Structure 1
């Protein structure tokens, strides 16, 4: 016996389908329901939410992606703040005047311009991450493309950057995700 909605096999004494919850209807044993293609299409639908509204792949991951991009921007600035406070001695001679050893001055005292250049570059990247996160949360029409570009720019940042980039590309890159994003971009923002 099979479920008339999803085609799941049902044992003879079972009162409902364990897959979809539909009450069992007696049918000829061993035959799948007549609407087998419709049952397969129903089984392939996205997961429903608690309110009964069906969410697609992009909708299920959109808010988490936006929060993760903003959190990654904060993490990037935090890491650079820690690194800059440590390397400040090399770039700006914070630790006093060292004329000891065979090298004389600090190794990077002549490269004082490098710290601000790296700081401006990382601050620009953090702004890009925040704009990506806010654009995704607001479902802006340009945010999907920006998120994909940002993911490609971030994929080489090992561990957290790579994981976030792969997650973003997995959720937003397929053409079906593009169609779904175009359908939801005009709705109310998440945040």
Structure 2
């Protein structure tokens, strides 16, 4: 235990700090707070719901992203040669759409894996799950409307001293 005023180490049972004379305040255990068990139970249910929403968001993002990239592949593969007007590029006519589409697939799979990891970590109440969910929330904040909504919900549920203590107790 350390003094809250000067930070000097305190021996068990000391009532005053020997350095600055400040009284030592004992912190009550969270389990002694009335209604704490009910609050922890409610928080647990909210975390479970949040993890399920992360799984649904990952599946929905993968399905819509796959459809969008399939459409983009079909559109770009037929119209790119018409746009180039026969110019002979060093890598061929289809180098740009292929590179762009492969990059988009990597981004889609990374985003889906991050969302699944966030849902899994929260479902298992893993210590790393909170950090991964916050990172996923920050990266999905600009994906309006669903990504923004789940990001805000995640940040409200996981950030702050009270919520971090509740998550640690799970």
Query: Could you say which residue in structure 1 is the equivalent of 2:144?
Result: 158
- 3-state SS of the aligned residue for 2:154? helix
* Number of residue pairs matched by the alignment: 130
Offset of residue 137 of structure 1:
0.4
TM-score by length of 1: 0.60
The CA deviation string for residues 54-109 of structure 1, in whole angstroms up to 9 with x for no partner, is 2435313111111111111111111111111211123433x7x964xx7637xx94
Query: Which structure has the larger Rg over C-alpha atoms?
Result: 1
Give 5+ residue unaligned stretches, structure 1.
1-40, 47-52, 185-191
Partner-residue secondary structure (3-state), 1:156: coil
**Mapped pair 1:131 → 2:117:** yes
In structure 2, runs of 5+ residues without a counterpart are 1-32, 87-92
Which residue in 2 is equivalent to 1:78?
63
Runs of 4+ in 1 over 2 A off after TM superposition: 55-58, 89-93, 102-105
Q: Hey, what does 2:133 align to over in structure 1?
A: 147
Instruction: Give the Cα separation in 2 of the matches to 1:152 and 1:124.
Output: 14
Structure 2 length-normalised TM = 0.67
* Higher helix residue share: 2
